[in-house]
Amino acid sequence: TRRQVAVIGAGPAGMLLGHMLRQHGIDVVVLERRDRAYVEGRVRAGVLEQGTAALMARLGLDGRLKREGLVHSGTKLSVDGDTFRIDFAELTAGATVTVYGQQEVMKDLFDAAEARGLDMVFDAEDLRIEDIDTDTPCVRYRRAGADHAVECDVVAGCDGFHGVSRAAIPAGVLKTYERVYGFGWLGILADVPPADHELIYCSHERGFALASMRSETRSRYYLQCAVDERIEDWPDERFWDELCLRLGPEVAARVTRGPSFEKTVAPLRSFVGEPMRHGRLFLAGDAAHIVPPTGAKGMNLAVSDVTMLGEALVAFFAEGSTAGIDGYSARALARVWKAERFSWWFTGLMHRFPDTDPFARKMQVAELAYIRGSRAAQTTLAENYVGLPMGPA
């Protein structure tokens, strides 16, 4: 078959791009290795920047988000049990974020795709990308034992960190930058009311903790842990005890304990691959970059990439203009690097590292005290957290 665009990967990046292109009448297919239930079942991000919610709105996909999303106008930081607030709305002329799980976003994107006739292929195995340095690249895959080929004008690589798209860029062209932190986050979900109506990012001598939520009746909590931490070593009681220690007595008194129904470890990593375009292949989201989760940038960065890529591809197909697609990589990377910096900085400020000696801990505590007392420092945190502007095309 012949298509204008083949999108690889049906995560947030791929599905949002698919919807954007379809809305503009571009012939697009989204190819996904797993099935819908698998993609929808993955517990991942929880905080949407305003730009992410705005894109959902432009696509007419924000009905449930508006009804069920929790708008947060600030967040809390806790230092060895002592908590203070950062007021995003007041510091940034009204910006907020919305708590709405990535699983909910995916459900909305898949439901709408079916209703609108956005073409999706699940269970696409052994996918290969060919001829990206020609005007007619080709994507081949196997499905249910049969071989398929999609000839297209453009391939959008939205297949996440472990996908095949990034590897299709020749090694001599792709430059990678990486930081591995050597620890992870152990995350749980439990159907108990959250300890606070806002998120609490907690820096503690024993390690980082985060109190988050999915709704008024569902809590999401994280503890900094070793990358090779064994889940079996963390029965619920141990998790709740450690969480309460790190949050400190005042917040701990408001923690409702209950059985967890999700418990996984995610390693922390920073990664950027440059450029984000080679020939007719364009990378977006985790396929091109990873941020550590501190600051909730991962999914939002995938969304800002595809917002820019979608604009560029619409201009290309509708007007035959190549300025957008030629500028895409530089424009996206300019914002990516700022989000990388913020996530790296916030991770360093809040976590216990192997080399966090007493002096280093004093530096963290002093920086948090400075933030607490400085409107300038709070503004810096707030404007990064709610999401930086997209930048000129």
Q: Which of 296, 309, 312, 381 binds ligand DHB (CB under 6 A)?
A: 296
Question: Of the listed 100, 293, 328, 351, which one is catalytic?
Answer: 293
Indicate if 235 belongs to the active site: no
Q: In the structure encoding, which two tokens stand for residue 270, read together?
A: 């920073």
Q: How far is the CB of 210 from ligand DHB (least distance, A)?
A: 6
Contact between 34 and ligand FAD per CB under 6 A: yes
- Closer to ligand DHB by Cβ: residue 295 or 310: 295
Catalytic residue list contains 197? no
Q: What's the CA gap between 222 and 350, in Å, rounded?
A: 13
Closest CB to ligand DHB among 92 and 224?
224
State which residue, 26 or 158, has the beta carbon closest to ligand FAD.
Answer: 158
CB 275 within 8 A of CB 333: yes
DSSP assignment of 291-334: --STTS-HHHHHHHHHHHHHHHHHHHHHH---HHHHHHHHHHHH
Cβ at position 389, least distance to ligand DHB in Å: 20
Number of residues that bind ligand DHB (CB under 6 A): 11
Site string for ligand FAD, 163-202 (x = CB under 6 A): xx--------------------------------------
Beta bridge partners of 147: 142
Told to judge if 222 belongs to the known catalytic residues of this protein, a careful annotator would answer: no
Chosen residue from 286, 350, 368, 386 binding ligand FAD by CB under 6 A: 286
Closest CA to 245 of 213, 204, 212: 204
List the x/- string, 40-59, binding to ligand FAD by CB under 6 A: ----xxx-------------
Give the pairing type, strands 28-31 and 5-8. Answer: parallel
In angstroms, give the least distance from the CB of 69 to ligand DHB: 12
Q: Are 15 and 106 in contact (CB under 8 A)?
A: yes
CA 297 to chain centre: 5
Q: Distance (Å, rounded) from C-alpha 196 to C-alpha 70?
A: 13
295 touches ligand DHB (CB under 6 A)? yes
Say whether residue 11 binds ligand FAD (CB under 6 A).
yes
Is residue 212 at the binding interface for ligand DHB, with CB under 6 A as the rule? Answer: yes
CB 48 within 8 A of CB 100: yes
Instruction: Enumerate residues 62-121 that contact ligand DHB by CB under 6 A.
Output: none
Cβ-count burial 7-24 (b if 16+ within 10 Å, e if not): bbbbbbbbbbbbbbbbee
- Is 100 annotated in the active site? no
From the list 54-62, 64-72, 293-301, 309-317, the region that binds ligand DHB by CB under 6 A is 293-301
Q: Are 243 and 267 in contact (CB under 8 A)?
A: no
Can you name the residues that pair with 31 across neighbouring β-strands? 8, 121
Q: Which of 19, 278, 289, 297 is catalytic?
A: 297
| 72 has catalytic annotation | yes
Q: Which of residues 184-203 bind ligand DHB (CB under 6 A)?
A: 199
293 in contact with ligand FAD (CB under 6 A): yes
- Output the six-digit token pair for 243: 């969480």
Regarding 47 and contact with ligand DHB (CB under 6 A), the answer is yes
- Position 220 contacts ligand DHB (CB under 6 A): yes
How many distinct helices (H) and strands (E) make up the chain? Answer: 12, 20
Helix (H, G, I), strand (E, B) or coil at 141: strand
| CA–CA–CA angle 274, 277, 283 (5° rounding) | 85
| Full strand arrangement of the beta sheet holding 47-48 | 47-48, 97-99, 70-72
Query: Measuring CA to CA, which residue among 80, 75, 76, 53 is closest to residue 64?
Result: 53
Chain residues in the site for ligand FAD (CB under 6 A)? 8-14, 31-34, 39, 44-46, 102, 124, 127, 158-160, 163-164, 266, 285-287, 293, 296-299, 302
Write out the catalytic residue numbers. 72, 201, 293, 297, 385
Q: Would you tell me which residues interact with ligand DHB (CB under 6 A)?
A: 45-47, 199, 210, 212, 220, 293-296
